[in-house]
Amino acid sequence: MTAESQAVVCQDLRVVRGGVAVLPGLTAHVASGRITGLLGPSGSGKTTLIRSIVGVQQVASGTVSVLGMPAGSAELRSRVAYVTQDASVYADLTVAQNVGYFASVLGAPACDVDRVIGEVGLGGREGDRVGRLSGGERSRVSLAVALLGAPEVLVLDEPTVGLDPVLRRDLWAMFGELAASGLTLLVSSHVMDEASRCDDLMLLRDGQLLAHDSVAAILASTSCSDIESAFLSLVEGGS
Amino acid sequence: MTAARTAATARRVVQQLQHDHRTVALILVVPCVLMGLLAWMLSSADFNQYGAPLLGIFPLIVMFLTTSVATLRERESGTLERLLSMPIAKVDFVFGYALAFGLLGVVQALVVSGLAVGPFGLDVAGPTWALIVVAVVDALLGTALGLFVSAFAKTEFQAVQFMPALILPQLLLCGIVVPRDELPTVLRWVSDLLPMSYAVDAMTEVMTSSAVTAEFWLNVGIVALFMAVGLALGAGTLRRRTP
């Protein structure tokens, strides 16, 4: 793989949180223009890896580069969009006020506000206070903020938690369209059945990369019919 | 920093306040009630002595509490982390808060000093606008201190406890309880280092001299300097990378 085809490159990434080496020394990459699923049980280091890629995590050693620049560089702040696990939006503002504020911060055009609210299926709810929305609707407001402007890399930490099946299908369809238009997506999940929606998979356990390949290749190498059994077979094979 | 992002942040904080009618009502009504209480229980000479400094102290306390809790909420809810992963300068964030709460300080000062000077009969020798200037600078100082201490609080309970820790000693040493030149020497030195002392001195200047004196501007300037340092320290506590 050439350097241009890799949107994110982590080299010997070591992150210590609260005295525990959450990532003891991870080397991995994320391919450009594809959907990479980051799968693993809770506590496996998914969020820490995502935070390191976005540049908000203090790193003990190793390097993370995104689009050829060190993660967290000022230039990346409008090119990398980040959706945290909990909806990071203002509960005491309306949907439109939230999206509008982040649009001003990003310098996105005003028409973007209506576009992204429509894209996450919240058209008609612009005037509703976010604090009064359901958990799923709130995380869609958070996702709408990440779609503002023209990000090149979209990093999503468990974006489909608490969403109904119809909405999950629609969101994955949208992720597919975004990847087809050239965006790089890194989506974490602990729901293994979402793996089939991804192009590539990274299976993370205790901060170690168990496998990183296309879905088909992982299934073939483990001779399993679904990702959940493939994951289990990799865990048991490794121990 | 950019003016657009600072203004957007200020507008957003004002929008949040607009949705919280009860807080705004408390911020505006409570000082009026307390001022009325003072006017009622004190002789008019005593009301002049104690009422005027309080005009400057209310905005400081109120904005300190509001800002420290609001900033702490931003840290806890993840909105601060999200903002700092975006192209916003730390000073945009800090100045945005200062602008919004400065504006609220103006409204509070207009309402409270309007009542104090009017119906409650506060006898001010200097111009009323000078009272407003001191109140607004105090509001901004409270905002700056609130932003700064929120970095050292992990919960809203802790943030609120910084109020008695940081504000009450200033209240005791600022000259209302014991005139500053009658304080024991060491305490006198301490009071010289505390911003509220200068806020109260500035208020006293407005109360006693009909012209706006250089002494007044010096005191206002010192409070503004504390505010600027507080805002800079507050911006310094914002971290794009956290453990």
pLDDT tens for each residue of A26-45:
999 999 999 999 998 888 99
Q: Could you tell me whether strands A6-17 and A20-31 are parallel, antiparallel, or unpaired per DSSP bridges?
A: antiparallel
pLDDT tens for each residue of A168-223:
888 899 899 999 999 999 999 877 778 888 999 999 999 999 889 998 899 899 89
Residues recorded for chain B: 243
Angstrom distances, CA of residue A187 to CA of A13, A52, B29, B238: 19, 14, 49, 28
CA distance B113 to chain A (A): 30
Residues of B in contact with A82 (CB under 8 A): 82, 85
pLDDT tens for each residue of A81-106:
999 988 899 999 999 999 999 999 99
Its sign, for the CA torsion A132, A133, A134, A139, is negative
The yes-or-no verdict on residue B49 having pLDDT over 90 is no
Closest CA to A40 of A163, A233, A192: A192
Which pLDDT value is given to residue A5? 86
**Between chains, do A129 and B242 touch, taking CB under 8 Å as contact?**
no
Residues of B in contact with A57 (CB under 8 A): 241-242
Average predicted confidence (pLDDT) for chain A = 90
Angstrom distances, CA of residue A211 to CA of A184, A197, A204, A216, A221: 20, 17, 8, 12, 10
Closest CA to A78 of B130, B85, B6: B85
CA distance A120 to A163: 12
Which residue reads 């999206």 in tokens?
A99
Q: Quick count: other Cβ atoms within 10 Å of Cβ A127? A: 9
% of residues, chain A, pLDDT over 90: 68
Q: What is the mean pLDDT of residues B21-40?
A: 90
Which pLDDT value is given to residue B170? 92
Weakest-pLDDT range from A145-154, A177-186, A222-231: A222-231
Angstrom distances, CA of residue A19 to CA of A23, A62, B99: 12, 17, 40
Angle formed by the axes of helices B44-77 and B156-166, nearest 10°: 150
How are strands ordered across the β-sheet holding A61-66?
Answer: A20-31, A6-17, A61-66, A69-70
The yes-or-no verdict on residue B203 having pLDDT over 50 is yes
pLDDT tens for each residue of B207-240:
888 888 899 999 999 999 999 999 999 888 888 9
Residue B163: its H or E element: helix B156-166
Q: Which of B80, B85, B90, B93 to mutate to test the interface with A (most CBs of A within 10 A)?
A: B85
Give how far the C-alpha of residue B157 lies from the chain's centroid of Cα atoms, to the nearest Å: 20
CA distance A200 to A186: 10
Residue A172: its H or E element: helix A165-180
CA distance B5 to A102: 10
CA distance A116 to chain B (A): 17
Residue A201, SS3 per DSSP: strand
Minimal Cβ distance to A89: which of B79, B85, B87: B79
User: Which residues 53-72 on chain A approach chain B with CB closer than 8 angstroms?
Assistant: 54-59, 72
Which pLDDT value is given to residue A166? 85
**Between chains, do A56 and B15 touch, taking CB under 8 Å as contact?**
no
Q: Which of A104, A153, A156 to mutate to test the interface with B (most CBs of B within 10 A)?
A: A104
Q: What is the mean pLDDT of residues B64-80?
A: 90
CA distance A201 to chain B (A): 25
**Between chains, do A92 and B81 touch, taking CB under 8 Å as contact?**
no
The yes-or-no verdict on residue A118 having pLDDT over 50 is yes
Minimal Cβ distance to B19: which of A74, A77, A92: A92
**Residue partners of B181: CB distance under 8 A and separation at least 6:** B188
Which pLDDT value is given to residue A164? 82
CA distance A233 to chain B (A): 33
State the complex-level ipTM.
Answer: 0.88
Rounded to the nearest 5°, which phi and psi values hold at B188? -60, -45
Average predicted confidence (pLDDT) for chain B = 90
pLDDT tens for each residue of B146-178:
988 888 888 888 888 988 898 899 999 998 889
CA distance A54 to chain B (A): 7
Residue B25 exposed, middle or buried by CB count within 10 Å (0-12, 13-18, 19+): exposed
Q: What letters, b where the CB count within 10 A reaches 16 and e where it falls short, cover B205-235?
A: bbbeeeebbeebeebbebbbebbeebbebbb
Weakest-pLDDT range from A103-112, A139-148, B158-167: B158-167
Q: Could you tell me whether strands A208-214 and A200-205 are parallel, antiparallel, or unpaired per DSSP bridges?
A: antiparallel
**Between chains, do A93 and B5 touch, taking CB under 8 Å as contact?**
no
Q: What is the mean pLDDT of residues B34-49?
A: 90
**Between chains, do B4 and A107 touch, taking CB under 8 Å as contact?**
yes
**Between chains, do B85 and A89 touch, taking CB under 8 Å as contact?**
no
Q: What is the mean pLDDT of residues B22-38?
A: 90
Which pLDDT value is given to residue A3? 47
The yes-or-no verdict on residue A1 having pLDDT over 50 is no
pLDDT tens for each residue of B108-130:
888 998 999 889 988 888 998 99
Tell me if B66 sits within 8 A of B140, measured CB to CB. Answer: no
